[in-house]
Amino acid sequence: MLMCEQVSLDLGPNCILANVNLQVAAGESVCLVGPSGCGKTSLLRLAAGAVEVSSGHMKNHFRTTAAVFQEPRLLPWRRMLDNIALGLKARGVNRHERLARARTLADKVGLAGYDQHFPHELSGGMQQRVALARALAVDADFLLLDEPFSALDVGLRSEAQGLVQCLVVDQGIATLMVTHDLTEALRLAHRVVVLSGAPGTVVCEHRVSTPFAERTPAWLYEEAGHLLRQPVVQDSFLFHPDSEVA
């Protein structure tokens, strides 16, 4: 599992995160929401081990951690299958086997028949699916997702969410996902964590106990409305004229 205890992060003179407490249990799907600039991505980078905490403790006990970024971050000079197999190549899996596994995953994310395409020949949504397949390829038990669908339009985003639900959440892979879309969080999470303020800190946690199958669009909007009625959540999400002046 992932444990953050009183984690703070300073980048230069700026304090990005202060006293963040957060846990992600095995198989649990946690969504981080909050206004832009509150340190969601920084928290994800801490979890990925890309940066070190300034104070507090951050322990990642998961066996393998993988990530899907806001942009696909594919290698433009490698074909689709080689991009999926990147993590396997880094682990020394031989070419034949890693391509076979990449092909299976390409099928699962709906990209069969695009094996030999270069990333720039694929659409944005397809590139993001390649990035998801690349993360799944290393057989991770913990997946970090940083607003992976924010660049997609509504229909594609819903499709991608469905894919994450069936390939990640239902498979018991623990996730920590950043999003600014409350309905997206409610659709995919066991628990929604609201991060807010400068420096960012956890202001609210909301456990979602409704089974995934019962999370219809109508339910999502209703639940988002419930959440937004709480003052802390409202403060961090809704437009408030006073702060604009200040």
Partner 1 sequence: MGSLIRTVLGWGGSLTGVLLFVALWEWGSLAYGSFLLPGPRDALASLLTFAGNDQLWAAVWATTWRAMSGFAIAALAGVGLGLLAGLSHTLGRALEPISTVLLGIPPIAWIVLALLWFGSGSLAAIYTVVATTVPVAFAGAQIGARTLDARLQEMADVYLVPWPMRLWDFYLPHIVSYVFPALITALGVAWKVTVMAELFATEDGVGAGMAMARVSLDTAGAMAWIVVIVVLLLVAEHGLLRPLQKKIEPWRQARGPMPPQ
Q: In the complex, which residues of this chain contact partner 1 (CB under 8 A)?
A: 45, 48-50, 65-67, 69, 71, 73, 75-78, 86-87, 89-91, 114, 116-118, 120-123, 125-126, 134, 138, 144, 156
Q: Which is nearer to partner 1, 153 or 170 (CB)?
A: 153
**Distance in angstroms (rounded) separating the CA atoms of residues 129 and 131:** 5
Q: Write down the H helix ranges in 19-111.
A: 40-48, 80-84, 86-90, 95-108
Q: Which is nearer to partner 1, 89 or 103 (CB)?
A: 89
Retrieve residue 139's tokens: 């057989």
Q: Which is nearer to partner 1, 1 or 48 (CB)?
A: 48
Q: How far is the CB of 84 from partner 1 (least distance, A)?
A: 12
Q: Which is nearer to partner 1, 156 or 228 (CB)?
A: 156
**Distance in angstroms (rounded) separating the CA atoms of residues 116 and 82:** 9
Phi, psi of 242 (to 5 degrees): -60, -45
CB 101 within 8 A of CB 137: yes
Q: Which is nearer to partner 1, 19 or 41 (CB)?
A: 41
- Running DSSP on this structure, what letter comes out for residue 7? E
Q: How far is the CB of 102 from partner 1 (least distance, A)?
A: 14
Q: How far is the CB of 89 from partner 1 (least distance, A)?
A: 6
CB 179 within 8 A of CB 205: no
Q: Which is nearer to partner 1, 131 or 208 (CB)?
A: 131
**Distance in angstroms (rounded) separating the CA atoms of residues 91 and 73:** 19
* Sheet-wide strand order for 191-196: 65-68, 142-146, 174-178, 29-33, 191-196, 201-207
**Distance in angstroms (rounded) separating the CA atoms of residues 225 and 241:** 20
